[in-house]
Structure 1
Amino acid sequence: MSLDVTTEARDGVMLVILGGELDIYTVSGFRQDLEDLDPATTPLVIDLTDVTLLDSSGLGALVSLLNRSRAGEGRLGLICPHRRLRRVFEITGLRRAFVFGDDFDAVIAAFDEQQADGDDG
């Protein structure tokens, strides 16, 4: 029951790479690790590629980040190449709330497409 969190700036975007379980036992550490980030002003991409478990607490933390990003001009995208994990977002009705991609470039392309369409979130 652990979660590794790594952050790196890439092309004006803050990339947060997660590995392990994002659940009730690790979510407080996740929130603390991202406390200093401001998703309202900086585009944020969360890489879920190596997440092995995502429960409702983890979803809640991601939704909280999404809401913080929408409070300003920020954007939040999820790298989520695995169908089993994307299914969690589909079942909960959150699939349309987030920008998804199979890798970093796909999320950035989705951001660009969203901006071109005039969609604000």
Structure 2
Amino acid sequence: MALEMETRTDGDLTIVGLTGELDIYTVADFRHVLDEVDPGRGTVVFDLTHVTLLDSSGLGALVHALNQSRRSGGRIGIVCPEARLARVFSITGLDDAFVFGDDLDHLRAALAAPPAIPPDRRL
């Protein structure tokens, strides 16, 4: 299955909505979008609401975006209402690395809190 991506701005957030599978077959396209979005500027939100599969390649790309963002003082938020996807982050120990919300409103509230992991810690 393909990965569809839509980028939009909502206030101070750049939101990248993803639909489909973020895996080894689609991660190159995702990385191209990352280059355009520039996770180092402000807060970038990845909306995984409609993601049906997330493999280690997709996780690696998200961690790359997180590290790039932290070096520049930005933040990464993830909208992830699906328990099975949230479990992937938990199993890999990344549940404290990103800021999560079940929807955009909950994510905004979570982003208002200080980061759980210091910004200078590389993952």
Please tell me the TM-score bracket, short chain as reference.
over 0.9
- Provide TM-score, normalisation by structure 1: 0.92
CA-atom RMSD, angstroms?
1.5
Q: Tell me the CA shift for residue 34 of structure 1.
A: 2.2
Amino acid paired to 2:77? G
Output the CA distance in 2 between the equivalents of 1:114 and 1:50.
Answer: 27
- Report the secondary structure of 1:97's partner residue: coil
Which residue in the other structure is 1:22 paired with?
A: 22
* Identical pairs, percent: 53
1:72 partnered with 2:72? yes
Amino acid paired to 2:89? F
Q: Which runs of structure 1 show a deviation greater than 2 angstroms over 4 or more consecutive aligned residues?
A: none
Number of residues paired by the alignment?
A: 119
Output the CA distance in 1 between the equivalents of 2:108 and 2:5.
Answer: 21
Amino acid paired to 1:104? L
Contact kept in structure 1, 2:4 and 2:18, CA below 8 Å: yes
- Provide TM-score, normalisation by structure 2: 0.91
**Please, which runs of 5 or more residues in structure 1 have no aligned partner?**
none
1:98 partnered with 2:98? yes
Output the CA distance in 2 between the equivalents of 1:101 and 1:55.
Answer: 20
1:1-121 equivalences under 5 Å are 1-114=1-114, 120-121=118-119
1:36-61 Cα deviation digits (max 9, x unpaired): 22211221000000000000000000
Amino acid paired to 1:62? L
**Please, which runs of 5 or more residues in structure 2 have no aligned partner?**
none
Q: Tell me the CA shift for residue 120 of structure 1.
A: 4.6
Amino acid paired to 1:56? S
